[in-house]
Chain A
Amino acid sequence: QQQVKQSPQSLIVQKGGISIINCAYENTAFDYFPWYQQFPGKGPALLIAIRPDVSEKKEGRFTISFNKSAKQFSLHIMDSQPGDSATYFCAAFSGGGADGLTFGKGTHLIIQP
Chain B
Amino acid sequence: DTGVSQDPRHKITKRGQNVTFRCDPISEHNRLYWYRQTLGQGPEFLTYFQNEAQLEKSRLLSDRFSAERPKGSFSTLEIQRTEQGDSAMYLCASTLAGANVLTFGAGSRLTVL
The interface of chain A, by Cβ under 8 A from chain B, is 6, 32, 34, 36, 41-46, 49, 89, 91, 93, 95, 98-106
Determine whether the beta carbon of B42 is less than 8 Å from that of A43. Answer: no
Q: Please tell me if the beta carbons of A104 and B100 are within 8 angstroms of each other in the complex.
A: no
Our pick among B42, B101, B106, B107 for the contact of A103 (Cβ within 8 Å) is B42
B48, A99: Cβ atoms closer than 8 Å: yes
Separation of A102 and B41 alpha carbons in the complex (Å): 12
Known: A98-B55, A98-B56, A106-B42. A42 touches B91 (CB 8 A): no
Other-chain residue from A41, A42, A46, A105 in contact with B101 (beta carbon distance below 8 A): A46
How many chain B residues sit at the interface, stated as a range, is: 20 to 34
In the complex, which of the residues B48, B55, B91 contacts A44, with contact meaning CB atoms closer than 8 Å? B91
> Which 10 A/B pairs are nearest by Cβ-Cβ distance?
A103-B42, A43-B104, A98-B56, A32-B100, A99-B45, A43-B106, A100-B33, A89-B42, A44-B104, A43-B107
Q: What A residues does B91 contact at CB under 8 A?
A: 43-44
Q: Name 7 A/B residue pairs within 8 A (Cβ), A-sorted.
A: A46-B102, A49-B101, A89-B43, A103-B43, A105-B41, A105-B42, A106-B40
- Would you call B58 an interface residue if the criterion is a C-beta within 8 Å of the partner chain's C-beta atoms? yes
Q: How far is the CB of A76 from chain B (nearest CB, A)?
A: 20
Check if B105 is an interface residue, CB within 8 A of chain A. Answer: yes
Further contacts, 8 of them, CB under 8 A, given A6-B42, A89-B42: A34-B100, A43-B4, A43-B91, A43-B104, A46-B103, A91-B42, A103-B43, A105-B41
